[in-house]
């Protein structure tokens, strides 16, 4: 082992997997920043300032979708294709991609690298995570390709097979932006043209939900399918507690969000719409605000109450170990279960026949409350530095923290301080509040202080 090998060994021994994942995200952001400063990705003389490209780098690696420059006016086709690649890397997680690269290059994967993957995947067991990451990556790419083709053919048919190139370009872009929950808009009107195409919206919603439900759920779904296909009637397949909770809370927040949007906007935007459109719009925004950030119409026409509901959903965010950000559904969910248990005079939180571990409850409490404090601080700072209304500031902050990326149109007009606040929120929102906390805990302390209970659930 040479000097470099020893140094590498020393760094890996002293660094926790969480630290490595965060460092990998940072490196990825700087590579993206470098690439986004190359003029070849921009329309003639349209390259934005250093700060704006850095903002775009963080926004695309965290698959948020906020941007200080109108993408359709500055990026050329290569720039948009570059973004689509960044969404893959940012969405599926650095470590997952590292794994796939390793497998493809035929190299052996060390225990340390496996641990890193485990942390990023939030898988309680090491065994098989490498193989599983690989199959998820394949699944996600195939999903984007298949629906890319479907959307492309649909657009081509719509335009009487005349503008094939642009139909395929847009078809694939929408598929990529939906599955990775990126939400960046390259047309200036997002999904507004398809507002009344319910089948189209339902498919987009499905892709958004698949991206945000959490990779472990997809893995177990895949395992369950294999089990059903190969094992005929003997034995029982058990879903993990995490998968059950992730699906349960995704359903709860989806339905709850849709009902709240429906109620708050009933006399507003939805008043003149027929009933199926009312329901479809409410459902679409409930799915989109927690993860993706795709929109049907200008958000400025919504009621203040609806914008607050959007903010709440964005703040909650997606499942852990998904393409999404925010506090995470299971984290908020476990805190709510804990509050409900206290109100009912129960000592423990029981769900699906299992008891949630005290450590997980503790993490859920800490992550949620620190996230509230963080967003409160951000709103307070922005209310000093920016001239916009309070509701648009709350909206921008929660959109950044939830990596949803919706905006009431104030991103481009943010001050220098404001842009940096949003950059920090997007990074923390994607990496997760818990990682940020554990980042400064050394390897020894982590082993000592953070016991993993037997019924481990993924928190934030």
What residue ranges bind K ion (CB under 5 A)? 65, 181, 183, 293, 405
Taking alpha carbons only, the member of 375, 459, 356 closest to residue 425 is 375
Which three-class secondary structure string do you get for 122-183? CCCCCCCHHHHHHHHHHHHHHHHHHHHHHHHHHHHHHCCCCCHHHHHHHHHHHHHHHHCCCC
Residue 445 found at the interface with a copy of itself (CB under 8 A): yes
Q: Does 35 bind a copy of itself (CB under 8 A)?
A: no
Determine the length of the chain. 460
Helix axes 416-431, 358-385, angle to 10 degrees: 170
Looking at the Cβ atoms of 367 and 457, the one nearer to a copy of itself is 367
Shortest Cβ 353–a copy of itself spacing (Å): 22
The CA-based dihedral angle spanning residues 109, 113, 114, 120, taken in that order and rounded to the nearest 10 degrees:
-140
- Please give the structure tokens belonging to residue 300: 């400025």
If one counts every other C-beta atom within 10 angstroms of the C-beta of residue 245, the result is: 27
Whole-number Cα distances in Å, 114 to 102, 124, 158: 11, 12, 47
Binds a copy of itself (CB under 8 A): choice among 26, 103, 308, 424 = 308
According to DSSP, residue 187 is labeled: S
Closer residue to a copy of itself (CB): 176 or 433: 433
Q: Is 304 in the site for a copy of itself (CB under 8 A)?
A: yes
Which is nearer to a copy of itself, 220 or 265 (by Cβ)? 265
Distance CA 358, CA 348 (A): 8
Selected binder of a copy of itself within 73, 362, 413, 452 (CB under 8 A): 362
Nearest distance from residue 446's CB to a copy of itself, in Å?
8
Q: Which residues 314-353 are close enough to bind a copy of itself by CB under 8 A?
A: 335, 338-339, 342-343, 345-347
Residue 370 interacts with a copy of itself (CB under 8 A)? yes
Q: Is the dihedral of CA 174, 178, 182, 188 positive or negative?
A: positive
Pick from 380, 426, 364: nearest CA to 182 = 426
**Sequential DSSP letters for 242-278:** HHHHHHHHHHHHHHHHHHHHHHHTTTTTTTTS-HHHH
Give yes or no for residue 235 binding a copy of itself (CB under 8 A): no
Q: H-helix or E-strand containing 350?
A: strand 350-351
Tell me: does residue 189 bind a copy of itself (CB under 8 A).
no
Binding residue (CB under 8 A) for a copy of itself from 28, 35, 383, 455: 383
Q: Which residue is nearest to K ion, using beta carbons?
A: 183
CA distance 301 to 325: 26
- Residue 293 contact partner, candidates K ion, a copy of itself, none, CB within 5 to 8 A by sort of partner: K ion
Q: Which of a copy of itself, K ion, none has residue 264 at its interface (CB below 5 to 8 Å by kind)? A: a copy of itself
Q: Does 305 bind a copy of itself (CB under 8 A)?
A: yes
- Least separation in angstroms between residue 249's CB and a copy of itself is 16
C-beta of 20: minimal distance to K ion in Å? 25
Give helix then strand counts, H and E, for the chain.
20, 2
Q: Does 365 bind a copy of itself (CB under 8 A)?
A: yes
Q: Which is nearer to a copy of itself, 14 or 231 (CB)?
A: 14
Tell me: does residue 379 bind a copy of itself (CB under 8 A): yes
Residue 387 and residue 410: Cα distance in Å, rounded? 10
Single out the residue of 27, 126, 255, 376 in contact with a copy of itself (rule: CB under 8 A). Answer: 376
Q: Which is nearer to a copy of itself, 166 or 303 (CB)?
A: 303
Closer CB to K ion, residue 63 or residue 434?
Answer: 63
Residues that bind a copy of itself (CB under 8 A): 264, 303-305, 308-309, 312, 335, 338-339, 342-343, 345-347, 362, 365-366, 368-370, 372-373, 376, 379-380, 383-384, 389-391, 394, 437, 441, 445, 449-450
């Amino acid at each position: 082992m040479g000097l470099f090998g020893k140094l590498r060994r020393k760094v890996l021994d002293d660094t926790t997997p969480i630290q490595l994942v965060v460092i990998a995200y940072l490196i990825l952001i700087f590579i993206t920043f470098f690439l986004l400063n190359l003029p070849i990705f921009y329309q003639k003389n349209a390259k934005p300032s250093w700060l704006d490209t850095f903002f775009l780098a963080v926004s695309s690696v965290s698959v948020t979708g906020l941007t200080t420059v109108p993408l359709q006016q500055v990026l050329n086709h290569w720039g948009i294709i570059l973004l689509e690649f960044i969404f893959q890397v940012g969405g599926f997680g650095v470590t997952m991609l590292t794994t796939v690269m390793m497998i493809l290059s035929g190299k052996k994967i060390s225990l340390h690298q496996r641990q890193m993957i485990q942390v990023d995947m939030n898988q309680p067991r090491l065994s098989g995570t490498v193989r599983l990451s690989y199959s998820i990556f394949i699944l996600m790419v195939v999903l984007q390709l298949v629906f890319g083709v479907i959307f492309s053919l649909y657009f081509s048919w719509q335009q009487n097979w005349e503008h094939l190139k642009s139909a395929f370009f847009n078809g694939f872009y929408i598929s990529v932006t939906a599955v990775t929950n990126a939400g960046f808009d390259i047309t200036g009107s997002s999904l507004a043209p398809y507002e009344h195409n319910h089948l189209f919206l339902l498919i987009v919603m499905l892709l958004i939900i698949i991206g945000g439900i959490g990779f472990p759920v997809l893995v177990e779904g895949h395992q369950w399918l294999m089990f059903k296909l190969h094992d005929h009637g003997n034995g029982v397949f058990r879903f993990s507690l995490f998968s059950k909770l992730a699906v349960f809370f995704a359903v709860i927040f989806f339905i709850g969000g849709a009902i709240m949007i429906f109620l708050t906007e009933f006399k507003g935007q939805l008043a003149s719409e027929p009933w199926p459109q009312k329901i479809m719009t409410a459902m679409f925004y409930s799915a989109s605000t927690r993860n993706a950030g795709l929109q049907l119409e200008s958000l400025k026409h919504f009621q203040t109450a609806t914008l607050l509901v959007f903010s709440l959903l964005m703040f909650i965010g997606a499942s852990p170990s998904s393409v999404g950000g925010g506090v995470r559904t299971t984290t908020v969910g476990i805190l709510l279960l804990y509050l409900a248990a206290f109100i009912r005079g129960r000592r423990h939180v029981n769900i699906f026949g299992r008891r949630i571990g005290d450590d997980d409850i503790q993490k859920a409490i800490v992550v949620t409350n620190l996230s509230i404090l963080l967003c409160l601080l951000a709103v307070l700072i922005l209310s000093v530095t920016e001239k916009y209304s309070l509701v648009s500031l709350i909206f921008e902050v929660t959109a950044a923290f939830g990596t949803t990326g919706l905006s009431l149109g104030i991103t481009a007009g943010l001050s220098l301080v404001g842009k940096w606040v949003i950059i920090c929120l997007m990074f923390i929102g994607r990496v997760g509040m818990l990682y940020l906390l554990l980042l400064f805990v050394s390897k020894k302390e982590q082993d000592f202080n953070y016991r993993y209970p037997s019924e481990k659930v993924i928190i934030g």
